[in-house]
Amino acid sequence: MSKTESVLGAVYLEDLPQAAYKITSIPGRGRGLVAKTNIPRGYRILVETPILVVESTPPPSLEPIIAAKLKRLSKAEQRQFLSLSNNFPGKYPFSGIVKTNALPCGSGSSTGGVYGRASLINHSCVPNAHNNWNADSGQETIHATRPISSGEEITICYSKGGTSVDRRIELRQAFGFDCDCSLCSLLPNELEASNTRRQKCEELDDAIGNPFRIMRDPNASLADCKMLLGILITEHGDSGLALFARLYYDAFQICIAHSDQVRAAMFAKRAYEARILCEGEDSPLTSKMKILMEAPANHQTFAAYSSRWRSKKNSLPQGIDSATFDKWLWRIPE
C-alpha cells in the first residue's frame, strides 16, 4: 500500500490489515461488507477483477451468453456467481443475477462486471466509499471517501443522482429495491431541501457545460462552478469526491480555453488530489489530471476561445491568505 495526499494533508495507509472488511449478513439488506477496523479517507478497501463481463442485452438473448461464460469459469467462481442475490426471479435467473449485481465498466458504459466481493457492497445515496472501473488494469476499485468506523457498513452509490423520486425510480427499475438510506429517510422538510439542492445542481451542471456560454461569458461559467461546488459540499459532504474532481476539471477547461494556465493548473491539481483519494494513483483519470497539472497548455482546447485570461503556469500570487487566494482563483471581483 502507498500513501495518498489530500488538500488537508497527508493520509498514510501503511498500517492497516490486508482485508479491512468482513462479509456479513445485514438485516434487510442481504450480505454486505462491514469495516473490521477504522478505515481512513482515501484507503483502497478493495481491488477486484470481475468474475464475468457482459454487454447490456435483453434477458432472452443474455441468458445463453451468461450460461456459456459460466461454463468456462472455475467451480469456485461459479459458486460465487450463483450465491449472489437475484431481485428479478423468473425465467432468466442468470440475467437476474447480473442485473442485480453488475457494476458498469466505466461511466455510462453498456458493459457490466459481476464480482464476488464488490457486488456485495450495498447502496447508499450518501455513501462512504466510491467504486471506479480502472480500464488500464481491468479491475474495479473501492476507496473510502471519508473515515469509516470499525463495525460500520461500507456503501457505494448505485444511482445517477437526482431527486429522491428520480433515485427511487431508477433504483427500483435497475436493481429491484426500494432505497431507505439515511438520505431517502429524511424528514419531509429536510428531504425537500435536499431535492431542491439536487435540482439546482442539475441546472448549474447544464449551464456549465454550455460551450457557447463558456466562449462568450467565461466569468459567469466559472461563477457557476464555484456555486455548484458549494452546493455539492453541502449536499454530498465527503461522499462527493468524484463530483468535486469532475467540477474542478470543468473549471480547468473554462480557464484553459481562455489561455489562463496558472488557474487551470491549480484546478487540475485539485482534481488530481480528489481523484487520488477516490480512485488511486493508478487510475487513468488521476494520471490525466497529473499531466494537466504539470503542463496545462498541452490540453487540446488551450486558447481555443480567446487569450483574454492569458497567464503563465508559474505565476501564482504570493503572500496572500486563503480567503484572498480563493477569490483570486475563482475570479471573484473585489
Query: Is 182 among the domain residues?
Result: no
pTM of the model: 0.90
Query: Is 35 among the domain residues?
Result: yes
Amino acid found at 205: D
Same domain membership, residue 144 and residue 28: yes
Q: Indicate the residue among 127, 149, 175 that finishes a domain.
A: 175
Same domain membership, residue 162 and residue 24: yes
3-state secondary structure 118-138: HHHCEECCCCCEEEEEECCCC
Query: Is 54 among the domain residues?
Result: yes
Bridge partners of residue 144, in order along the sequence: 129
What are the C-alpha distances in Å from 122 to residues 44, 146, 159, 175, 246? 17, 16, 12, 11, 24
pLDDT at 96 (0 to 100): 96
Cα 187 to Cα 183: distance, rounded to the nearest angstrom: 9
Query: Is 61 among the domain residues?
Result: yes
Cβ contacts of 271 within 8 Å, gap of 6 or more? 244, 245, 246, 248, 249, 252, 289
Cell 487551470 belongs to: 264
Closest CA to 102 of 64, 181, 158: 158
Same domain membership, residue 51 and residue 171: yes
Query: Is 181 among the domain residues?
Result: no
| Per-residue pLDDT at 248 exceeds 60 | yes
Same domain membership, residue 290 and residue 221: yes
Domain of residue 122, CATH code: 2.170.270.10
Residue 55: which H helix or E strand, with range? Answer: strand 52-55
- Residue 106, domain extent: 4-175
The answer to whether the CB of 48 falls within 8 A of the CB of 140 is: yes
The answer to whether the CB of 85 falls within 8 A of the CB of 30 is: yes
The per-residue pLDDT for range 171-195, each reduced to its tens digit, is 999 899 999 999 999 999 999 999 9
The per-residue pLDDT for range 1-55, each reduced to its tens digit, is 333 333 333 333 444 446 899 999 998 889 999 999 999 999 999 999 999 999 9
Same domain membership, residue 125 and residue 10: yes
pLDDT at 18 (0 to 100): 63
Question: Residue 239 has which C-alpha cell?
Answer: 461522499
Same domain membership, residue 171 and residue 216: no
| Per-residue pLDDT at 145 exceeds 70 | yes
Count the Cβ atoms, other than its own, within 10 Å of residue 185. Answer: 12
Same domain membership, residue 136 and residue 168: yes
Phi, psi of 279 (to 5 degrees): -135, -20
| Per-residue pLDDT at 168 exceeds 70 | yes
Q: How many domains does the chain contain in total? A: 2
